Amino acid sequence: MTESFRRSGEYPEGDHQQPAYPEHAGFQHSYPPPPPPPYAPQTPAPTGPVGPTGSRRRAKGPFALLAAVAIAAAAVGGGTAYAFQQLTGTQDTSGTTVNGTQVAASSKGTVAGVAAAVTPSIVEINATSNAGQSTGSGVVITSGGEIITNNHVISGATSVSVVMSDGKKYSAKVVGTDSKKDLALIKVSGASGLKPASLGNSDNIQVGQEVVAIGSPEGLTGTVTSGIVSALDRDVTVATGEGQQQQQPGGGWPFEYGGRQFNGDTGSETTTYKAIQTDASLNPGNSGGALIDMNGNIVGINSAMYSASSGSGGGSSDAGSVGLGFAIPINTVKGDLATLRAGATN
């Protein structure tokens, strides 16, 4: 839109008359005036409100602001496009991830989106010891192959192997262990360019929020379950002794909650920690896997399950999840990483 301007005082305001004697001003007229040329373009009459001088008023309000943004887009490109989205409430979902998260923008907040984003960072761990063989899970935390898992998954292992989500297999060595926190750090050999998980902040989680669990229950790599955080700061006691997971009937791992022992005797060597409680289904083999928020950030390391069919001093071949699982808060893990990397064997 263009506007015309004139010098102040050139014509009195509101005066649009031609000079009284135009021929004296160098104008020539013929009477009657010539007809307009055929198909002459017609100038549409102004449709907006007219001011006291007959000029069209400038539009005001949100419409004018949006129009200005649209016009400026040709000059400033993407920045204006972003502003226009904010003003109109539209959102571009073509980006690959949401800022600061691991989840695709188009599937933010969905179980499918979390699974697609995080599954490449979850591995199956197979440990062999004098007590037998066990299967657990782990979480890749560096592209060079550092993996967090539970201490009871690899306790006493003479050899450890890792199966990635794409089926590739690597041997691994134990870097450090902390039996008091039921945590261990292992590292695969000869791997690079792995996709590390995003570690969140477990202090921010709330009871009732949605979570996703990914692990290898019964050796079924990349199994995804979902639920909510059902409680916080649960005191859970788990075994620290060698081979405890392998020795239990039903393939489970031992732990104690509320004065009762599950999946067999915890033995004389135990540790107690504050855990996140979830109803996302956990089963034997989920140990060391990830509990994830809906932005794709790891908020806990799954470590124990409650099995109502397993009483004190015994187990059951059909033991399984009844909606009470427990995870070590990820902030506990982050606080222990330096110790584990230093080769601790607590």
Q: What residues are labeled active site?
A: 152, 182, 287
Parallel, antiparallel, or unpaired for β 210-215 and 198-199? unpaired
> Which ranges of the chain would DSSP assign to H, the alpha helix?
62-76, 78-88, 111-118, 151-154, 244-247, 330-341
- Cα separation, 163 vs 289, whole angstroms: 13
- 207: nearest Cα among 225, 224, 226, 227: 227
Cis peptide before 284 (omega within 30 of 0): no
- Cα separation, 247 vs 133, whole angstroms: 10
- Cα separation, 289 vs 276, whole angstroms: 14
And the tokens for 236? 């859970």
In eight-state DSSP terms, residue 61 is S
Parallel, antiparallel, or unpaired for β 297-305 and 198-199? parallel
Give the three-class secondary structure for 220. Answer: coil
